[in-house]
Amino acid sequence: MSGSVALVVGEPLSRVFSEDPLFALVSRSVSRELGDVDRQVVLMLGTGPGSSARIERYVAGGHVDGVMLVSMHESDPLPRAIDRIGVPVVSYGRPAPSVPIGFADSDNPSGARLAVNHLLNRGRRKVATIAGPPDMIAGQDRLAGYLGAVADAGQRAQVVHGDFTRQSGAEAMARLLRAEPDVDAVFAANDLMAIGALQTLRRAGRRVPDDVAVAGYDDFEAARFTHPPLTTVRHPVAEQVGAMTRLLVDRMGGGPLTSIVLPAELVIREST
């Protein structure tokens, strides 16, 4: 037994240590949770030339007793490779359907539906979405929730994509205004893209929420300090990490492959 667990993040260094608070929150929570069971965290970044092969060799070499995967993309070979190695592995978020590993996730489709239904219930007649990357399961699940809600309401879906960064949200909102100038509500698949959308709307002279209501997803600290404060779906990072840690510890002890999905919660603020 090595006494260590690998935390593998499927994003480049520039993204992990950038504006997105998710990775710092996950890393901090993982370190705390594993410290409680006397395990050390080894942070590994799963992008860049040769990184997948290096991580595979490291894991296969017996340097860690288990692996936690975060922010994986569908084309990433690591989840399948680590599963083949036979080291216990769990995912932060639902993995691709073809990867048979346990996971802890929040209920992304239901969370998106909560946000979109809230916008519809406020009388919004043209609700668009700034969806996340189509090769990430969280992006797919939140888009599915949006599509289901607007279909149930008899509205036409209006979808533009971002990459979960603030800049991509600003650019997506600009494209949306050009294509659908009478849009009156936007659900962004994470708070950073929602913040970018707010910036574009402000530059375009659109009042929030009077002209365009905006909702996000995550409820990170920044959502409380936007102008106006952002309505969003709470992403229970600490609880999800705790569930993921318990799943991995159980797997390392010979337990069965299981998964946990945590409920979504809408936090209503002045942007809607």
Most confident of 30-34, 60-64, 119-123: 119-123
Residue with tokens 């910036």: 199
> CATH assignment of 4-105+236-262, given 3.20.20.70, 3.40.1160.10, 3.30.465.10, 3.40.50.2300?
3.40.50.2300
Residue 242 in this model has a pLDDT that exceeds 80: yes
Q: What is the pLDDT of residue 80?
A: 87
Q: What is the pLDDT of residue 16?
A: 64
- pLDDT above 90 covers what percent of the chain? 74
Place 271 in a pLDDT band, splitting at 50, 70 and 90.
very high
Q: What is the pLDDT of residue 14?
A: 65
Residues 111/116/120/125 CA torsion (nearest 10 deg):
-170
Q: What is the pLDDT averaged over residues 30-46?
A: 88
Sheet containing 89-92: give its strands across. Answer: 40-45, 4-9, 66-70, 89-92, 102-106, 260-262
Q: What is the pLDDT of residue 27?
A: 87
Average pLDDT, the chain: 92
Q: What is the pLDDT averaged over residues 205-231?
A: 97
Q: What homologous superfamily is domain 108-234 in, according to CATH?
A: Response regulator (3.40.50.2300)
Other residues' Cβ atoms within 10 Å of the Cβ of residue 57: 12
Residues of the chain with CATH 3.40.50.2300: 4-105+236-262, 108-234
Segment 64-102, tens digit of pLDDT: 999 999 988 887 888 888 888 999 999 999 998 878 899
pTM confidence score:
0.92
Alpha-carbon dihedral sign for residues 10, 13, 19, 23: positive
Q: What is the pLDDT of residue 83?
A: 86
Q: What is the pLDDT of residue 222?
A: 93
Residue 168 in this model has a pLDDT that exceeds 90: yes
Which residues, in sequence order, are bridge partners of residue 231? 215
Residue 164 CB-half CA count within 13 A: 24
How many whole angstroms separate alpha carbon 2 and alpha carbon 66?
10
Q: What is the pLDDT of residue 49?
A: 64
Q: What is the pLDDT averaged over residues 214-225?
A: 96
Segment 106-158, tens digit of pLDDT: 999 999 999 999 999 999 999 999 999 999 999 999 999 999 999 999 999 99
DSSP code string of 30-84: HHHHHHHTT-EEEEEE--STTHHHHHHHHHHTTS-SEEEEES--TT-SHHHHHHH
Q: What is the pLDDT of residue 99?
A: 83
Amino acid at 4: S
